[in-house]
Structure 1
Amino acid sequence: MKEEWWRGSVIYQIYPRSFQDTNGDGIGDLKGIVQRLPYVASLGVDAIWLSPIFTSPMADMGYDVSNYTDIDPLFGSLADFDTLIAEAHRLGLKVIIDQVLSHSSNQHPFFLESRQSRTNPKADWYVWADPNHDGTPPNNWQAIFNGGGAWEWEPRRQQYYFHNFLKEQPDFNFHNPEVQDWLLNVLRFWLDRGVDGFRLDTVNFYFHDAKLRDNPADYVKREGPVGRLYDMQYPLFSKNQPENLPFLEKLRSVLDEYQGRTLIGEIGDHHHGTELMAAYTSGRRLHMAYSFDMLSEEFSAGHFRNHIETFFREARDGWPCWAFSNHDVQRHCSRWSDHGGDEVALARQAAALLLSLEGSVCLYQGEELGQTETELAYEELTDPQGLNYWPADKGRDGCRTPMVWTHDATHGGFSDAETSWLPVKAPQLAKSADLQEQSNSSILKTYRQLLKLRHDNPALKHGQTRFLDTEEPVLAFLRDGQTLCLFNLSAQWQELQVSGIQDVLFSEGADLGATRLRLAPNASLIAQAAQDVSIKQQPAMAGQPV
C-alpha cells in the first residue's frame, strides 16, 4: 500500500502564481507555498500538485517552458524547491509537479536552433512541414488558443511549424526517438530531486498523424455560436494517435525505476475523455488520469453514473482521478449554480459527492472554501484564451485569482504589493480562510470532516462502486457493498421510502426517519447500510416538507 499511496488519495492542486506572495511583487512564489503548507496539511489531503514553476516567458503562464530543469525566478530557485520538498515530506505530503511534454516555449534553445535550418542537430525535434503549392499550410488543423490555424510560417526554413496551442508553444516531434529519450531524462532529473510524481499536461496530444491528414468536421451538432474554430473540427489526426500508448509505457518504465512514484495524465478531449482515461491507465501506462467530463457544465445523476460506469467497464486495471474544478475551467460552484438550492448547499454537496467517488481525487485551491468564479473586466485579463475569444469565452483568469487567506487584509492576505497579478474581489473576500476557520459550520469545516471520513473509511477510499437504480435527480451508490452515498442533485425536495440504512456517517439536508428519507435541495447522505438496502422514490415534492 505504501507503494500505491496514490490509489484513493486526495491531491490538492496549488496554482503557484496565486497561492502566496512573499517578496511583494504581486505573484505567488515557492516560499509562499512553504509558508502555507501547514494549512494544506491540516485539510487532511495526501499530496500537493504544483502547476508549472519552470523557466518560462509566461506566454501561457508557465505552460510554455524554456528550461525544463530550472525554476523560473518569479517563483524562486532550485534551493527553494528543495526546501519545499523537504517541508512537504515532513508534513506527510507527497509532491506532484506539472510536466509539459507535448510542446515547449518558442524561446527554448532547442526550438531556436531548430528554426534556423533543415540540417541542424535539432532540425527534426519539432513538427515541420512544407507549404502547399499555393503557400497555404499543409492541412486544416486549428490551434486551441489563437483563434486560427495551427501552423506558423518560418522564413528561414521555408516551412511551417505545428502548434496545438499558441504560436509561442511549438509541438515536439514525438516521432523522433531522440525527443522521447530527452523528455524521459527530464523526468529523471526531478525524480532524483525527490518529487513523488507528475501531472502530465495534455497527455493525449503527444503524437500527431505523420501523414498530416486533414481533420474532418466535428460530428457533434452544436447550438449557438462557436467560440473557437478548433471546436468545429473532430481532431481525428491532430491528437489521440495510437503511438501515444507505447510512449506512455516508456514513461511508466521510468517511474518504475523509483519507489512509490505516480503519473497523472490530463486527457484533453470532449468526445471520448472517459474512454481515453480507461485506455491510458490500463496495463503498464499511467497510474491514473482525469478528463474534462467531470469538469463540464453537466450536472445530473445520469451524467456522473455514466462516466464512472464507463471508466470501470472499459479499464482492465486502470484507475481514475476525478476533479470538479481546476485552473482550466470555471469553478464548479459557479458552473453548476443553476442546479442548486443555494450556493452553500451546492458547495457542500459537491464536496460530499467528489470525496465519495471511487478513484483518486483532485481538489483545486479555494474549492474547500466554496470559492466562486471571479468576474473580471477585459482589461483585467491575462489569459490568452480570454484575450483572444472575448466575450464568447472569458478565459481562465476567473478561476485563477489569488487565494483569499484574510478577509480584511490587502489582496486577501495573498500579497502586500500595491497590485496583484489578478485582482481579489469582494465575493471572494467574503469566503476567506480566516472567516471560515472561525465558524464551526463553514464549508472549510465540511471539507475537513469529509476528508477525515474518507481517510478513516476504507470503503470510501478503496471500495468498489455499485449504483442503485434511482431516477433523476437522485444519485445513489454503495461503496464496497456497505457504505451508502446518496445525493439529491436538484433544487427541489425529494422523498424516498428506505430500509436498511444504519449508522449515518455524514448528513447535510437529509431527514432520515424509520422508513422515510426526505432530502432538501442538494442534500447529501453517507451512511453504513445493509447489503439489501432499499430505496424507492416518491413523486417530486414542490416545496419544503411539513
Structure 2
Amino acid sequence: MTKKPAVATKTSNPDWWRGAVIYQVYPRSFQDTDGDGIGDIRGIIQRLPYIASLGVDAIWLSPFFTSPQADMGYDVSDYCDVDPMFGTLADFDAMMSEAHRLGLKVIIDQVISHTSDQHPWFKESRTSRDNAKADWYVWAAAKPDGTAPNNWLSVFGGPAWEWDGVRKQYYMHNFLASQPDLNFHNRDVQDAVLAATKFWLDRGVDGFRLDTVNYYFHDKELRDNPPHMPDSEDAGLDAPDVNPYGMQSHLYDKTQPENVEFLKRFRALLEEYPDRTTVGEVGDGARSLKTVAAYTSGGDKLHMCYTFDLLGPDFTPSHIRHCVDSFQRQVKDGWVCWAFSNHDVTRHVSRFIDKPEERGPVAKLAINVLASLRGSICLYQGEELGLPEAELTFEDLRDPYGIRFWPAFKGRDGCRTPMVWAAGEPQADFSTGKPWLPVPADHLPLSAGAQDGEEGSVLSHYRAVLAFRKAHPALIQGDIEFLDTNEDVLAFTRCLGEERLLFVFNLRRGPQDIALPLGNPVKDRIAMPGLAGTLVDGEIQLGPLDGFCARF
C-alpha cells in the first residue's frame, strides 16, 4: 500500500484552528452514491460545495475505517484503510484534494482507546499469554470465585470485563465486549497507534478528533471504583441516568495521570507536520474541565478539547455562563471547542424547545449564542437545517446502546438519520436505495433544497451568522467577559484590540427590557443576523428569543 505524501500549502497558519468553525460529517448518513442506503466518501465529495457554502473552516469525519460496524465504525479493525462500504483510499485522497481546493481543512476521528475484536492485534493477543501481542490489551485473572477482576462497568451496560476461554482470563472493554481496550502502559501499543496516525498525516490530513481521549490508560492495580457521591468532584453523568455506569466515581478506569505523557508524544508527532491540530473528546463528569486543563496546557499536548457541558438539556444563561466561566477559570492557557450537538446526543433543537413552534427561533438563537462564545465551535450535520430529533421505533434501531437500554433510553439513532437534501426526491435525495435508518417525514419540509436561498430560513441564518463571526476578529480570538443581568438574559463582551463588542441574548419565551449592562457607553448597534433588539434611553428592549449586539 503506497503512502500519499503530504500536500504543501501555499500559506502557513499554525493557529488556524483557534476560533475555527468545524462541521461534523457522519459519513453513514450524509450522502449515498451507490444505492446501498449507506453514505460514502464519494457522497461527501459531492456535497463538499454545500459544506463550503456554509462558511465553515473545516470538516470532521466520523470513522470511515475498516470495521465490522458493531458500533458504527467506532470499532476499528484496520486503522490504515477505508471500509469498503465507504469507498477506497483513492476516494479518500480525492476527497482530501477537493476539500483543500475549496479551502476546507479535514479532521478525522482517531479511535485509539480500543479496537474491534476483529483487529489482527486482538486476534493474536487472545491466542495465548505469551505471544508477541499478549500484553497489547488489558488482560486480568479472575477472582478466586471466577468473577471479574474488579467492579468496573461498561458505558454500554454490564461489567467492563469479558471472559476469554482460550487465555482463561478476562479482558477489559469500556464499551461493547467486541471493543477490547488497548493497553497503553505498553510502549509498543503507543508506537503502533502513532504509526497509524502518521499514515494519515502523510496523506495530508489536517487534524484529529481523538475519541474518548481520557480513556487510554487504566489503573495498573485494577482498584475498584468507589460509589458515586452526588457532591463529589465527578458529579454529573456522561451516561443517561438509566445506566448504572453513573453510580460509580470513575477514578481508576479512566483519566489516569500517565495519559499526559502519551499526549505529549502525540503532539510531538504532529509538530513534525505544519499546521496540524487535535481536538480531544473528554467525558469525565464535573471533572471534565480540570481534565481539559491538564490536556491542553503548556502547548505540548492537545490543541483543544470539548466536553459534554453544553450537550445537555440546559439552554439557560446561568448554565452557559457557568460552563464558559469555569473553563476560563480552570484552563489558563488551553483552548476549548464548544458544541450544542453531535452524533452521540439528542439534537439540541429538541433538547432546548418547549413546543414545536419554537424550533426555528431556538435554532437561530442557538447559533447566534454559539458563534459569539470564545473558543472554536463544532456544528453537527443537519443542525443548520434546524432538524429535530427523529422518533424511531425499536425495530428501526441500529445503535447497540439504545437497544441495550430501550425503552428508558432510546439511544443515538435519532440524531443519526440521513441528511435531507430535497423533499421531492426519493429518500430526500440521500440514496436511491433503502437507507440504513429511515428518513423522518417531519424532516422533509426542512430539506437543504427547500431552505437554500429562502430568506428567513434556518439555513440562510446559519450562513449569515457564520459570515458575521468571520468578519469580526474579536469573535475568533478575543477575550470574553460576562456581565450581570437577570437570570433569563445572557450578556457578555468580546474584545480584541480596538474591537469591543457587546452581546445580550434573551432566552426567555417572552419579551424583556433590561438596563444597559455597561451603563451607556454604546457607540452603535451592530446588525448581527436575526437579532432585533433595540436600545432606547439606556434600556435594551428584547423580543422573545431575541438579542442585541453593539460596539462600545
Query: What TM-score results when the alignment is normalised by the length of structure 1?
Result: 0.94
Aligned pairs for 1:161-172 (under 5 A) are 161-172=171-182
How far has the Cα of 1:492 moved from its partner? 2.4
Which residue does 1:493 correspond to in 2? 511
Which residue does 1:357 correspond to in 2? 373
Deviations 1:481-531 (A, max 9, x none): 711111112212211122333132314242433432221221122322x2x
How far has the Cα of 1:411 moved from its partner? 1.2
Contact 1:341 1:522 in 2 (8 A): no
Matched, 1:258 2:273: yes
Question: Which SS does the other structure have where 2:59 is aligned?
Answer: strand
Contact 1:339 1:490 in 2 (8 A): no
What is the one-letter code of the residue matched to 1:348?
K
Question: Which SS does the other structure have where 2:124 is aligned?
Answer: helix
Provide the identity percentage: 56
Which residue does 1:193 correspond to in 2? 203
Q: Superposition RMSD on alpha carbons, in Å?
A: 1.5
What is the one-letter code of the residue matched to 1:94?
K
Contact 1:14 1:364 in 2 (8 A): yes
Q: Which residue of 510, 516, 527 maps to 2:539?
A: 516
Which residue does 2:169 correspond to in 1? 159
What is the one-letter code of the residue matched to 2:331?
A
Question: Which SS does the other structure have where 1:475 is aligned?
Answer: strand
Q: Distance in 2 between matches of 1:352 and 1:307?
A: 17
Relative to 1, partners in 2 of residues 1:519 and 1:341: Cα closer, same or farther, differing over 3 Å? farther
Aligned pairs for 1:45-56 (under 5 A) are 45-56=56-67
The unaligned stretches of length 5 or more in structure 2 are: 1-11
Aligned pairs for 1:325-344 (under 5 A) are 325-338=341-354, 342-344=358-360
Which residue does 2:312 correspond to in 1? 296
Q: Distance in 2 between matches of 1:426 and 1:500?
A: 50
Contact 2:532 2:546 in 1 (8 A): yes
Contact 1:339 1:489 in 2 (8 A): no
Matched, 1:385 2:401: yes
What is the one-letter code of the residue matched to 1:504?
I
Q: Which residue of 217, 224, 227 maps to 1:214?
A: 224
Q: Distance in 2 between matches of 1:161 and 1:304?
A: 40
Matched, 1:70 2:71: no
Q: Distance in 1 between matches of 2:270 and 2:485?
A: 42
Deviates more, 1:79-88 or 1:444-453: 444-453
Relative to 1, partners in 2 of residues 1:491 and 1:414: Cα closer, same or farther, differing over 3 Å? same
Contact 1:199 1:266 in 2 (8 A): yes
Which residue does 1:179 correspond to in 2? 189
Question: Which SS does the other structure have where 2:264 is aligned?
Answer: helix
How far has the Cα of 1:340 moved from its partner? 9.3
Question: Which SS does the other structure have where 1:254 is aligned?
Answer: helix
How far has the Cα of 1:4 moved from its partner? 0.9
What is the one-letter code of the residue matched to 2:404?
N
Which residue does 1:25 correspond to in 2? 36
Matched, 1:398 2:414: yes
Contact 1:334 1:372 in 2 (8 A): yes
Question: Which SS does the other structure have where 1:70 is aligned?
Answer: strand
Q: Distance in 2 between matches of 1:51 and 1:220?
A: 33
Deviates more, 1:485-494 or 1:121-130: 485-494
Question: Which SS does the other structure have where 1:480 is aligned?
Answer: strand
Q: Distance in 1 between matches of 2:388 and 2:180?
A: 33
Q: Which residue of 515, 519, 526 maps to 1:504?
A: 526
Q: Distance in 2 between matches of 1:389 and 1:521?
A: 37
Q: Distance in 2 between matches of 1:229 and 1:85?
A: 42
What is the one-letter code of the residue matched to 2:245?
Y
Contact 2:264 2:301 in 1 (8 A): yes
Deviates more, 1:486-495 or 1:378-387: 486-495
Deviations 1:208-233 (A, max 9, x none): 0010000111112899x941121111
Contact 1:152 1:161 in 2 (8 A): yes
Relative to 1, partners in 2 of residues 1:168 and 1:7: Cα closer, same or farther, differing over 3 Å? same
The unaligned stretches of length 5 or more in structure 1 are: 531-546
Q: Distance in 1 between matches of 2:321 and 2:425?
A: 43
What is the one-letter code of the residue matched to 1:181?
D
Matched, 1:527 2:545: no
Question: Which SS does the other structure have where 1:37 is aligned?
Answer: helix
What is the one-letter code of the residue matched to 1:194?
G
Matched, 1:316 2:362: no
Question: Which SS does the other structure have where 1:48 is aligned?
Answer: strand
